Amino acid sequence: ANTSMTMRATGQGCIPRITRVYMGRKRMMKKISSMLMIFCFVFSLFISVKAEPSFVDVGEDYWAKEYIDFICQKGIITDATHFYPEKNISRGDFIMAVVRTFEIDKVAYADAFEDVEKDIYYADYIQTAFDYGLFCGSGNRLCEPNRLISRQEMVSIVMRSYDLIRCNTKSQTTFEYSFMVPDDWTDVSEWAQDDVKSAYEKNIVLGFTDQKFYPNNYATRAEAATVIVRTMLRGKIYVL
């Protein structure tokens, strides 16, 4: 029996049939690959357009724009057309943003505090923060979720979150910078001093140009977005 490959006469000589099949499949794969590349390109454009926030009150040169864009792209804090960066944020809303940011397993509300209604939108997040030791309330089983959060309270919660996620990740990279004591250090409550110092050392907070921290000032939404994203980066959850 003739076991040689089937040959076909052409004007350019004889081409093995197996070679012709291979070349045909190769051309088909290139065509499919090109179509997939075009599809992926168009799809990526669609996704980038849909994901890119466009807040009328956050200009291109706004100091916290990159942090606000990032946190909104992740769906952590969402708004339609306005972000209200200079507006203060409540304790309940900030705690909800932190729990969602660090993807902590949410638990059902179990009456951790007397002043938190079970059916309110942030109840489960507050219970989660309480169970994981991120937030202890104001004492006497009071949470005061609608009270505006101070800068030192904000920093304390994110640094406790940082410690939690560092325990749950394999990365052992540390970020330590020199600690420049803010001029108003004596205004920082004793219970918050370790957290504030750690946040400075890790460049999560930088203070103001007048070398002050203003621990008792209420935190703005822009400041909240900034410390959350910086903590995410230090904790190696996301990469910009």
Three-state secondary structure string covering the chain? CCCCCCEEEECCEEEEHHHHHHHHHHHHHHHHHHHHHHHHHHHHHHHHHHHCCCCCCCCCCCCCHHHHHHHHHCCCCCCCCCCCCCCECEHHHHHHHHHHHCCCCCCCCCCCCCCCCCCCCCHHHHHHHHHCCCCCCCECCECCCCCECEHHHHHHHHHHHHHHHHHCCCCCCCCCCCCCCCCCHHHCCHHHHHHHHHHHHCCCCCCCCCCCCCCCCECEHHHHHHHHHHHHHHCCCCCC
Q: Identify the bridge partners of residue 16 per DSSP, sorted by sequence position.
A: 7
Cα-based torsion angle of the residue sequence 225, 227, 228, 232 in order, rounded to the nearest 10 degrees: 130
Per-residue pLDDT, 31 = 52
Per-residue pLDDT, 239 = 40
Q: What is the largest CA-CA distance in the chain?
A: 99
Per-residue pLDDT, 8 = 38
> Which two structure tokens, joined as six digits, stand for 168?
């749950």
> Which two structure tokens, joined as six digits, stand for 104?
């902590």
Cβ atoms within 10 Å of 171's Cβ, excluding its own: 11
13-16 and 7-10 beta bridge pairing = antiparallel
Per-residue pLDDT, 76 = 79
Cβ atoms within 10 Å of 98's Cβ, excluding its own: 25
Per-residue pLDDT, 136 = 94
Orientation of helix 91-101 relative to helix 123-131, angle to 10°: 70
Alpha carbons within 13 angstroms on the beta-carbon side of residue 219 total 29
Per-residue pLDDT, 174 = 53
Per-residue pLDDT, 109 = 97
* pLDDT average per 10 residues of sequence, the chain (240 residues): 41 46 55 52 40 77 93 76 94 96 93 96 97 95 98 97 76 60 96 95 92 97 95 65
Per-residue pLDDT, 81 = 83
Q: Identify the bridge partners of residue 13 per DSSP, sorted by sequence position.
A: 10
Per-residue pLDDT, 128 = 97
